[in-house]
Structure 1
């Protein structure tokens, strides 16, 4: 089988993608109509309007971080001089190619919320309220529109540009393979430097400031030093699951000849390990806050699981999310054979992507709609738009370039890889 095959999306594939996007657009319009036609007190109207923007925020940020996790995986393995992933690196590149498009969509949504006149999602955008709020006034050096906009725009630009540079370097091997040992060493070194630069940006954004601004500031009085790592773990394992889905899909279509069960096994181990890592962070954050029992910290979990004085409507989602993000992967992926089975890997990957979508749901909505759980059907419908969009963007990239990088200095390591 040729190693320069390209993926040509079928009519059925494109139809499914367009249908999902259409469903998402219909859900968005329906949600806008239902929320902007609300009547009642001023607070009720504001919360109703915010419910629409919260859904857009949750979905756009979640799927942006998921596709961006693919480039983190690519750069982390590059920095480690890994070779096993080269066989499916074009899949990783294709998933990461969705970052600029989804980044622009997410950026528009986030900036629309920040500069809108509804302060239900981000209380700190209300300057008059901040003046009379001791905690928010103390945080205004960080929580302000100027800093938020600067970090958001720069982040999306840097992610898009550095990701594009990494993909361009990989594609250059197709037409300009390194011919000598020295040129191979130079390619590996330059690639390592570029990957390291990306990881520095990633560390300064996802692993520190960005989740604080985009998500944690929705509950502006609350804070957690583990929040950024928690967010990273949630989206990274979902990103690996998305890569695994495309590897299985392409293998089922007779493509990716250099990829076998050994590679799938390692992807399964990543999903297994980072599901446990996510749970470790979840437990650590929860346990420390529960143990200290300080009202300014426990309020976050009271809104999500309730306590003896107050029942939370989100408690069912909170515990269900924990079950499918931890219990399901660890039980199903416990054995070696399960991580090599296409059907099981596909099933667990879908569970993980949906489970961490629910995780983001419970991050956002308890602060926006604390008294009742909004109809999640609308939010799942909007998620379908991003799923369809990712399908189109990934397919477009896969169809442009050979699926196997045959001239990479570490290509042989991927071919002979075994676990």
Structure 2
């Protein structure tokens, strides 16, 4: 029986991706028309315009950052398993390779959105530090790095390096397919590229970028665990997205050498890093609650409504976030059989991706809405952000499918392919 090594995009997948992108584009157009994102927004007299502009930019920033970090996590998986010389992912490695191709498009999109907000938009309710007129004493002390120039240079450098390393690795991976039998030069080169990317990833996603892109939204608050927390959230969502594509391809007759053992291993990653995310969530929350310092607890007061402020509009969402991202994976993915059941892992992947989208939503939204005095009704913004997210999801599906068509689904001439084919746990 001949292997189905060349992926062809089914018409149904194309239609879904186009439909989702259409929803996103329509949502964006409606936002430009009705939310006036480039209008002024300073002072109480511009309350309606300020709220509309802030709502528009929050939705774009939330979704562009989230989906970019999710596709970047796929290349982190490729690089980490390559450097570890792990054999098991080889029979499905072209899937995370294809997902990571989204960095080439989502990276520039995110940069355009973030830099347009910093340099063009008059709204200042998301990043207080971008406008010198709104700097208080604490923000002035941080102005050495919380300023538009540093933000721009760091963002462009980080995304540019991700794109460069990903494309370099992909080019090397495809060249290995055409190499002579026994030629290991491309294999050793892939280790060097993976090592260099992991250092870059550590200095960006695991360190500086979450501080600039997300934590600086609540610029008076800080957490030394924030970057790890952000990484864990995007990483487990990236694993779940990879699982969805692997199962989809398997169900359509591709990836013949992928078996229950491989699905089980991806499921173990999803389970383990859901617990890891919970460990970071609890550690950050517990330390801040225990220390009870006003500049730190304010972050959770805004989300839980403690301190005589009622239940708060985000309290239910805050607790739902914990249920979806901790209790559901714990109770459902703990059993061995559930990690081998295609239906269960597909359902859990969808739940986890949405759960961590919700997690990022809570990183971005409560602070600016509180300042605008609109925190009693975040539902309209939530719905708008969902519409924007549909566009990004459709784009990710389309880009991944396109990249899957550009190379055989099984790598050639890799020394660990045989180990992957006979893999068992």
**Fold shared per TM-score above 0.5:** yes
The normalised TM-score by structure 2 is: 0.95
Greater CA drift, 33-42 or 214-223: 33-42
Distance (Å, rounded) in 2 between the aligned partners of 1:222 and 1:272: 30
CA contact (8 A) 1:222 1:297 kept: yes
CA contact (8 A) 1:4 1:404 kept: no
Greater CA drift, 274-283 or 189-198: 189-198
User: Does the residue aligned with 2:424 lie in a helix, a strand or coil?
Assistant: coil
What stretches of structure 2 of length at least 5 have no aligned partner?
A: none
CA contact (8 A) 2:176 2:187 kept: no
What stretches of structure 1 of length at least 5 have no aligned partner?
A: none
CA root-mean-square deviation:
1.5
1:26/1:206 Cα in 2 relative to 1: closer, same or farther (>3 Å)?
Answer: same
Q: Does 1:95 pair with 2:94?
A: no
Distance (Å, rounded) in 1 between the aligned partners of 2:420 and 2:278: 31
Q: Note the alpha carbon deviations across 1:177-205, whole angstroms, 9 max, x for none.
A: 4x33xx32x33322111100000100010
Q: Note the alpha carbon deviations across 1:345-370, whole angstroms, 9 max, x for none.
A: 00000000000000001111101112
Counterpart in 1 of 2:315?
Answer: 315
Q: Note the alpha carbon deviations across 1:274-325, whole angstroms, 9 max, x for none.
A: 0000000000000000000000000100111111311321111111011000
Distance (Å, rounded) in 2 between the aligned partners of 1:112 and 1:103: 14
Counterpart in 2 of 1:280?
Answer: 279
Counterpart in 2 of 1:363?
Answer: 363
User: Does the residue aligned with 2:365 lie in a helix, a strand or coil?
Assistant: helix
User: Does the residue aligned with 1:369 lie in a helix, a strand or coil?
Assistant: helix
User: Does the residue aligned with 1:34 lie in a helix, a strand or coil?
Assistant: helix
Counterpart in 2 of 1:251?
Answer: 250
Distance (Å, rounded) in 1 between the aligned partners of 2:133 and 2:394: 41
Distance (Å, rounded) in 2 between the aligned partners of 1:253 and 1:3: 12
Distance (Å, rounded) in 2 between the aligned partners of 1:390 and 1:250: 16
Q: Does 1:167 pair with 2:144?
A: no
Q: Does 1:124 pair with 2:129?
A: yes
Counterpart in 2 of 1:384?
Answer: 390
CA contact (8 A) 2:178 2:412 kept: no
Counterpart in 2 of 1:228?
Answer: 227
CA contact (8 A) 1:3 1:404 kept: no
Which of 44, 49, 63 is the aligned partner of 1:45? 49
Counterpart in 1 of 2:79?
Answer: 75
Q: Report the Cα offset of residue 168 of structure 1.
A: 1.1
CA contact (8 A) 2:232 2:276 kept: yes
The normalised TM-score by structure 1 is: 0.96
User: Does the residue aligned with 2:93 lie in a helix, a strand or coil?
Assistant: helix
1:262-281 counterparts in 2 under 5 A?
Answer: 262-281=261-280
Distance (Å, rounded) in 1 between the aligned partners of 2:30 and 2:282: 37
Q: Report the Cα offset of residue 44 of structure 1.
A: 4.4
Aligned residues: 413
Q: Note the alpha carbon deviations across 1:231-277, whole angstroms, 9 max, x for none.
A: 00000000000000000000000100111110000000000000000
Distance (Å, rounded) in 2 between the aligned partners of 1:76 and 1:26: 38
Distance (Å, rounded) in 2 between the aligned partners of 1:120 and 1:216: 14
